[in-house]
Amino acid sequence: MNKLIQKAQTLVEALPYIKKFYGQTIVVKYGGSVGDDDLTNFARDVVLMKYVGMHPVVVHGGGLQIGDHLKKLGIETKFIAGLRITDEQTMEVAEMVLVGKINQKIIEALHSMGGKAVGTSGKEGKMILAKKLNLRKFAKENGVKIPKGADLGMVGEVQNVNPDLIKVLENSGFIPVIAPIGFDDEGRTYNINADHVAGKIAGALNAVKLILLTNVSGIMDNKKTLISTLTESEAKKLIKKEIISSGMIPKVMCAIEALHEGVQKVHIIDGTVEHALILEIFTDTGIGTEILL
């Protein structure tokens, strides 16, 4: 009986959050670092969110999978400032892996849990207007050095998001699953950082939350203790002190940008934890780091 009461108490704890976020959009970025083993768990949580009246929107990356596929094809991969140099051949492989493989795998997982999902990239419905990434600006913002004359090729950044297609899918009961690819005014295709895409889409949708799934607990202080809540000013101080460093810097900068574009809260959580999304959204304490203005 006690176990049954505990289950009931868990549902009661979730009730105010279900009420608060009913009808609201929550953008979730599913990263390649989370791993295929956690996909079923992720899909179950997302479908539950949809069934209780929320509008989850999934944006996914796939850098690790793209790298593996390039290796199988014998195509050498080079990086500048942690970003893959993307020529036409690499772009073709990236689009094939992101849209044709990873996107479909996530859709299949959502369907297996009873959800209805539609896969798309930023090309459909003119969703993501992109432009070539300003590498020098990126390097300066993230504190990295780049070689003189460095060029990433077909690596882009979001110039504008048209959320019309996403809204149509949401209102029709579907879960949109979006690959981070866009194109410019002249029809050139660009591979874009998935965190950046997720943040821009969340801003365009006025999402109540943006949740970035990673394979770490969240943001740690200098004693390796999880920081549960962080403001923009506090985050920038930690970056200057190099407590926030490496690959976490672009995630935090993406979070801050999303907040300035209208997202209420951004969460960085460990997607390998069972029911990570449910624990972060429906409980009082959460499991990761929430970032606020």
Say if residue 132 is exposed, middle or buried (CB neighbours under 10 Å; 0-12, 13-18, 19+).
middle
Q: Which amino acid is located at 243 in the chain?
A: I
Distance CA 112, CA 161 (A): 30
Arithmetic mean of pLDDT, 208-220: 93
CB atoms within 10 A of CB 51: 11
List CB contacts of 199: < 8 A, sequence separation 6 or more: 210, 254, 255, 257, 258, 261, 263, 266
Arithmetic mean of pLDDT, 164-189: 95
| Pairing mode of beta strands 189-192, 181-183 | antiparallel
Residue 32: pLDDT over 80: no
Distance CA 158, CA 191 (A): 10
Lowest average pLDDT, out of 83-87, 95-99, 163-167, goes to: 83-87
Question: pLDDT band at residue 1, thresholds of 50, 70 and 90?
Answer: low
Residue 59: pLDDT over 90: yes
Nearest-CA neighbor of 189 among 257, 101, 89, 105?
89
Arithmetic mean of pLDDT, 279-287: 87
Residue 24: the pLDDT is 96
Coil, strand or helix: which one is 100?
helix
Q: What is the separation of C-alpha 123 from the centre of its chain, rounded to a whole number of angstroms?
A: 18
Residue 148: the pLDDT is 85
Q: Which residue has the tokens 């574009």?
A: 261
Distance CA 265, CA 55 (A): 16
Residue 255: the pLDDT is 93
Distance CA 219, CA 211 (A): 13
Residue 141: the pLDDT is 76
Residue 44 structure tokens: 């179950």
Residue 34: pLDDT over 70: no
- Please report the domains of the chain, with CATH numbers, ordered by start residue: 21-292 (3.40.1160.10)
Contact 65, 101 (CB under 8 A): yes
Q: What is the DSSP letter of 226?
A: B
Arithmetic mean of pLDDT, 270-285: 89
Distance CA 99, CA 210 (A): 22
Question: pLDDT band at residue 240, thresholds of 50, 70 and 90?
Answer: confident
Chain segment 128-159, per-residue pLDDT in tens = 999 999 988 888 877 778 888 889 999 999 99
Arithmetic mean of pLDDT, 187-192: 95
Residue 138: the pLDDT is 85
- % pLDDT > 90, the chain: 69
Average pLDDT, the chain: 91
